[in-house]
Structure 1
Amino acid sequence: MEKIIVVPWSSDSEWQLVRQDIYADRDTRNYQRALRQLLLWKTKGGPLSRGLHCTELILEVISKDTYFCNVDVIINTSDLVRLYSMAIMKFVNLTVDVLGNGPQKSMYFRASRLDIPPWLIDMRHKISHDQDLPTLESLRAATEFALKWLKTKYWNNDDNFKVITTKLYTSVTDEFIDILELYMLNKIKTNTIDKEERLNALKTKLSVPSFSYKECIKKIKEFLANKVYTSQLVNAFVTRYLMNAQECNSIKGRISKTDKDVWSVLLKLFTTSGLLTNLLQCLVTQNSRVAALWIIELCIVVFKNSKKIEIKHNENDNCMTCKTLDLDSNLVLRTALNSPHSHTVVFLKWLLRIQSNPLKVKQEYNIVKLVKLYTSSVKINSQNTAKVFTIKDLTNKNSNLQSQWSLALGEMNWKQISFGTIL
């Protein structure tokens, strides 16, 4: 029987777009976009493969270094040296120690079989055992080598990204988008020539004489019932439709009532299909104010549901009326905090509020403050960082700092959160 390998990307082109972001130009936006996609793949399919994990480690460092690209916040040399050292040590460990297939001799022997030079192994030993870390210049050179090595050994290897079922996924996603388009056109109350032309074109494409609103809902339910396509369908719905919504003119910080009316039924469908966690995970990784506002809308519904508050009392909150909600709020929070962006602070308070084990008000305040500092939403100075500790404090057993973070804080394992280690 042919071995089936499940990968988190939906097509070869999706893989190639990430590869292009990494290797086309040295641009902060490209690196950040690639990092967000790697995080999304991680949430879809669990731990990343070693090649992807090594790439993620390197991108996290070079996206903070002015040597490689323009950065918004410049960090000092000593912090850069520590970040580079950790990335290089993990790169060598994950490649030479694990990928080397030769006899269990020296690390140099295994490295030679993988075309990794001895000087990189020397650097790894220095990082692990010496008191002084390598110079920033040598670490940058090592990082450039590692990035090129990954390109040759991993990203240029067809066996690593070929998806045999690409056409199947593509056709399913395309058909799902066509049905969503029909649904949206059916929801539009006004009749225009453009609307009729688009409806006729879709009916012809789908080979159906008519496709009513109820038939659209039934078809969408069938799509969502097949968990094989979950990631592709959620991503298509979020990026192609929800992201085009408008902010309410009368109530700032909320999605317009028109957009909520259009998509409330489908939001309920996704929720009853057990996809609310997937939906929120996709939204929290989008660096967009509209995505942040949709998260607020969904969080409000979850909060009112948990408190048994009647949602219909306020029509502005009535974007999804479900009696039971299957949501892993802890996983959504961890996804958001693993890749915070400029709009994370917009929805973070609401995301903290719906945790099954809520934090104390002071703890929530400190988390929001740390994210603001990390994403440069507030100006960093000695006054506002004096009492804010980073996630790194958790792993420093010898530290005398009375950190506010705790491994028993709610359900969150804060060691899994990567941000806050450079302040």
Structure 2
Amino acid sequence: MYLDSNNAEDDIFEEVTTTDFSDQNKSCESVKRRTVVAPWKNVSEFNKVYDWLFGSEYSRESREKALSQIRVWNLRRSTLCPAAVLATSVIIEVQLKDIADNKFTNEELQTLYANAFTRFFNFMSSIMQSHNMRTMYQTAKELGLESFVVDLRHICAHGQVLPPLQVLRNTAEYCISWLHDYYWSAQRNTMCDTDAAHIRRKDKTQFDINISELFQIYDAALEGHLKGATNLKTLKRHLHGKRFNSLKEFYTENKLNSLQDAFDVIVQQLCVLVKRDLAIKDMSEIYVEAFLKMSYFFKLHETHTSDEDFISLINVTQSLFRMLAVYGFVEELFLSLIEITENSIADSSMRAGASYWAVQIAKGFHAFRQCKKMYKAELDANSTIKEAPHSNNDLTQISEGTRELLIYSGVDMKRTIIFGDHFRRPWVWVFERNFIEDRLEAVNEYTAPILKSLLPLIEPELNKTEINTFSTLIDCLFETNAEMEVNEKSTKDSNKIFTVSDLLQKLNNKDNDIEMKVDEENEIVTGDKIDDGAEVKYGIWTLMPDDETHDWKSCPLGRLPWE
């Protein structure tokens, strides 16, 4: 990512005025700029390639290094790699072949140069994209290329006899000199590094700010609410500084009567922003990013541990989560929470908070799924059942029909996030079995509760035995991983390789009273009653018999005996 001084009409570029440059870039102060995603990591990498190509001590070896780096750039940005960079590479490449030790004949070099000039001009012509037809001579004139380059290109592309080799060599030197002045030197003198984290599309910047401010106000209101504040006066005891001032301003502007009202008003304004700016791409990403910046939201589980606090928390956050579900943001939020819990370098408090809320979201969707099942069963029995009233505009109220379904489904509405109020629609949240299986190997204290809470949402649906087996396996793998981490810290030269036998032993030691069922035959087997040569079922798992070729029990987990 860098800044250059070219003008841009495309709105994906953000015009920036930069005032803090290094000495070599002092000349680009107060220049109108645009932000460009470049294939080089930073200005330093660009300058390194420049020196390899045009530096006072450039050599054949340095230009070979430059070509190698340009290939990397081309891989990074493909067709978006600057045309002048690609044009430079085709000319330099043929020049390096020309100075090889008689590796190519004169005729072969003429052909190589001819192809290089054709590609060079095609690359440079692509810069002058226009809806109007123009001749190659017009294009060359606008680029500042001499007309003889066009003549040479025509001869190379269509002529029966190629120009003399020396003419081609001289033209190649001219093209390299022109590329240096037209592109490389200009970029080197004006290019500046910029922080990609602060670059946004113009149409997204204000939208981002508005969303982030609302989530921060929500976070402050939640902190005040859980600490006992009910209005602006009592809020002063618990909040200070910027968080208090921003919430106070919001409270006054919207003429709120109580802190409880703030939650509903914030959610309403978040809904209005979604409807007003539907044209903005990546809206879900913006909402999730702002959500994850709520600091108190991800720490409250550490201090508010009572059942009364939990009921109050679920009550005030119902409308927020329902809004995220209605507009399709909750799935991306959930996956982001899982990514945080799997990130070993993330803050432990943030990982714990992400795990806490991911579990609550999963429980909410399990409740929604139970209600859909009951509604479908009632609808199959009586097709004249009236549809429960539902409105996306009212995220705080639940219809009587839906309330009855929730109660009869065994859902504790005081302790569960309620996502849906309309069970006719086909939308429901499910996961495939491999979503769980792919995360078993790296399960940790933060992901284990999430994976166990997702088991009722697996499709095809798991029966109770399979859920219990999966749950036991998650516990065993988590304990095994925890033991491995302890062992790695206590001894660096531990060479223990965990095998299927270790896993079976862990399963048996977990609870010797658990009976494993074999398919539909309901045969009971344990780890102590395995006959040699028998194929044994452990819930959804199959223990293959050992033979002369494959020793499955001693095979490391995640590997095959023949590897």
State TM-score, norm by structure 2.
0.29
State TM-score, norm by structure 1.
0.37
Structure with the larger RCO, 1 or 2 (CA within 8 Å, 6+ apart): 1
More strand by share: 2
